Homo-oligomer: A and B are copies of this chain.
């Protein structure tokens, strides 16, 4: 791997593990056993590293959330939810500190808003196809609210959970609970067929959550 990529991946791991505010560029250089000068050759400062991590995130987002034209099946729903889980887990430092990171970097905020607009539109397309597939039964205004609520719950989950427990550590269990909360929000709006699908997905993620606890 090139030094530049090694820096990005080491920084991501350290941010996730210790929290972004607690990690300096010196920590990252020490972790890779390279000189701070070598790190500064590739990145001017920490913000630039965070920018590059965000580009990874945006690519992941684009690959994972391609809305499909065909009717939604349980398998495609599962792959969406797995993607939500993986994104939250891989970039958990970002979700934990979002308002702060964006406030410090207006250019990153613009990139983030573009990514959110794309995600908002993809969730709307997914919801529409669930409706056309007879899995949820609500009018268009409620569909819009549901899409906005799901986007907000997914974006805020990690940050909110850290406020709910003293000294909270972000574990896979915390994130599986978020996926289950998303399914619980959809459940009362689902048709009987949709409910069956939701219950099957819930069982799957409850098992994942149990295994993650061990």
Contact = CB atoms under 8 A, between A and B. Distances in A.
Contacts of A36: none
Interface stretch (A61-69, A106-114, A123-131, A203-211): A106-114
* Secondary structure type dominating chain A contacts: helix
Among A155, A163, A165, find the residue whose CB has the most chain B CB atoms closer than 10 A: A163
A208 B165 CA distance: 35
Contacts of A116: 164
Interface in A162-186: 162-167, 181, 184-185
Contacts of A163: 98-99, 102, 109, 112, 155
B148 A152 contact: no
A96 interface: yes
Contacts of A181: 145, 148-149
Contacts of A110: 166
A188 B187 contact: no
Contacts of A187: 142, 145
A97 B146 CA distance: 26
A189 interface: yes
A70 interface: no
Given A156-B159, A166-B110, A167-B106, A184 B99 contact: no
A145 B183 CA distance: 10
Contacts of A145: 181, 184-185, 187-188
A163 B106 CA distance: 11
Given A152-B160, A155-B160, A166 B113 contact: yes
